[in-house]
Amino acid sequence: MLVAHAPAGYLLTQLGGDRTRRYVLLGLCGSVFPDIDLLWFYFVDHRRHMHHSYWTHIPMYWVLLWLACELMALGWPARVFLANVMLHLVLDTIAGGIAWLYPLTTHRFVWVTVPPGHGFWLWNFVLHWTFLLELPILAAAATVFWLSVRGVRARRPATAGPVQLPPRR
């Protein structure tokens, strides 16, 4: 996935029920957080290893963190963040490869292999049919966002002018 992690996280968080800004922000952060390893990939490791081999893309670490959060009773904020991290890993399994059975094996499971055929790596993914899977996610997230904003506007009371406070006694 190239552009659908955040929209998918937005949809998952909206489906979760509590749609406060705090939870939506946590969901969005969780949905893109595993890709923080790109900073290490580009600036420290100098692209020597595929970034999906770093710990942020290994589900076992996130499951252990989730269990620790449950034991510490951190509640819904941790669940929203970590559910979106796991969604990120599921989406990366489509064309990126995730080591779901680590530490038993380092094999990265991938549903579709995107062959190199273009000079710049990005075009290999943008011009592959799997990129079409991202478009409905983007459209759904945009629709849900538009409807939620429109719904908030419809619920606001219409005022003809400034709010009148009752006189003091």
Let me know if residue 155 belongs to a domain: no
Let me know if residue 161 belongs to a domain: no
Give the model confidence (pLDDT) of 42-89 as tens digits.
888 877 888 888 999 999 999 999 999 999 999 889 999 999 999 999
The pLDDT value given to residue 162: 63
The pLDDT value given to residue 155: 57
The pLDDT value given to residue 118: 79
Let me know if residue 163 belongs to a domain: no
Task: Extract the residue ranges of the chain whose pLDDT is less than 50.
Answer: none
The pLDDT value given to residue 165: 66
Give the domain range for residue 70.
5-139
**Domain total of the chain:** 1
For 86, the token pair is: 């796991």
Let me know if residue 29 belongs to a domain: yes
For 15, the token pair is: 């489906």
Let me know if residue 47 belongs to a domain: yes
Which of 105, 112, 17 has the alpha carbon at shortest distance from 59?
105
Question: The pTM is what?
Answer: 0.83
The pLDDT value given to residue 156: 54
User: CB neighbours of 114 closer than 8 A, spacing ≥ 6?
Assistant: 95, 124, 125, 128, 130
The pLDDT value given to residue 151: 75
Let me know if residue 145 belongs to a domain: no
